[in-house]
Amino acid sequence: MGARKRIRANQIKEAKKEKAFAILRGCPSSPQKMRLVADLVRGKDVQRALDILKFCPREAARKVEKLLLSAIANWSAKNEGKRIEDASLFVKEIFVDGAGILKRLRPAPQGRAHRIRKRSNHVTIVLGSKTAVENVVKE
Per-residue pLDDT band for 139 (boundaries 50, 70, 90) equals low
Among 33, 34, 123, smallest CA distance to 70 is for 123
Instruction: Supply the mean pLDDT for the chain.
Output: 90
Q: Look up the pTM and report it.
A: 0.83
Fold of 21-138: Ribosomal Protein L22; Chain A (3.90.470)
3-state helix, strand, coil in the chain (%, to 5): 55, 30, 20
What pLDDT digit, counting tens, does each position of 54-112 carry?
Answer: 999 999 999 999 999 999 999 988 888 788 778 888 999 999 999 999 999 999 999 99
Residue 63, phi then psi, degrees to nearest 5: -70, -40
